[in-house]
Chain A
Amino acid sequence: MRINCPYCGPRGNEEFAYLGDATVRRPDPAAEDAAAQFYEYVYLRDNPAGSHRELWYHGGGCRSWLVVTRNIRTHEISDVAFADAGDKP
């Protein structure tokens, strides 16, 4: 695979580390049902046969965490964005 890093340009997947689902959000640890929410956050994942937003880390390049939108059936990548949108250039 090649991932078009928004900072570095297209690079081979050997420069990246895969983490997984980018759609899950760390729950509020103060919530009453925090234990249940964290269980879902840590363990439960959908496995959509199609478009998937996932986290990749460009450790072999600019050290950015990226959100890659990838069709997991075809590997087609439709979007790559910084996980930390912040006020980046």
Chain B
Amino acid sequence: MAAASVIARRGKADACAAAITAHYGVTLPTGPRRAASGDVVFAGVGPWRWIATAEGADAAEFVAQLRERLVFVAAVTDQSDARLVVRLRGPRVRDVLAKGVPVDLHPRAFKAGDVATTLVAHIGVQIDMLDDGPTYLIAAPRSMAGSFWSWLTASAAEFGYDVSRS
């Protein structure tokens, strides 16, 4: 998965949003939400800051194109190698996540399309809710992948889990 951080330049938030709408056909979320256009997703992770991802894309190409399209309106930085991304689904996913995610994931509080950046087991993560399955994506820093995995598997062990690579 290619990934890049996108930070709107000072005073260029509107221009940045317009450029993204023009090139990707999505409305850039202003809060912690995600907007998808095909395989390209923009997830809000802070004021004027997004993580753009593209499933299956070549990292260098995706980042170069994004940078070109947002030249002078946003700072674009490759983060394709910075993260471990896991997709979690199943009826007990919320029970697993409750063992470390401090954010309220009840369906009334955190809905499909919502994004949260938070700390899980002292590790900074980005959590996206994809659908009401429920399915979640969690991105953790590459260097802490082992510790994150240790927490995740320990938390899921009680319920049982399968692992597959995508």
How many B residues, CB 8 Å from partner? 18
Instruction: Known A7-B31, A12-B102; judge A82-B47 contact (CB<8 A).
Output: yes
Is the CB–CB distance between B119 and A14 below 8 Å?
yes
Instruction: Known A7-B31, A89-B30; judge A61-B118 contact (CB<8 A).
Output: yes
Residue B23 CB within 8 A of the other chain: no
Q: 8 Å CB contacts to A: which residues of B96-123?
A: 102-103, 116-119
Is the CB–CB distance between B102 and A89 below 8 Å?
no
Residue A64 CB within 8 A of the other chain: yes
Main secondary structure of the interface of A (DSSP, over half): loop
| CB nearest to A86 among chain B residues | B10
Interface range, A side: 10 to 19
Is the CB–CB distance between B102 and A62 below 8 Å?
no
Residue A8 CB within 8 A of the other chain: yes
Is the CB–CB distance between B13 and A89 below 8 Å?
yes
Is the CB–CB distance between B47 and A15 below 8 Å?
no
Residues on B lying within 8 angstroms of A by beta carbon are 10-11, 13, 30-32, 45-49, 102-103, 116-119, 124
4 nearest interchain CB pairs? A62-B46, A89-B30, A60-B119, A88-B47
Residues on A lying within 8 angstroms of B by beta carbon are 7-9, 11-12, 14-15, 60-64, 82, 84, 86-89
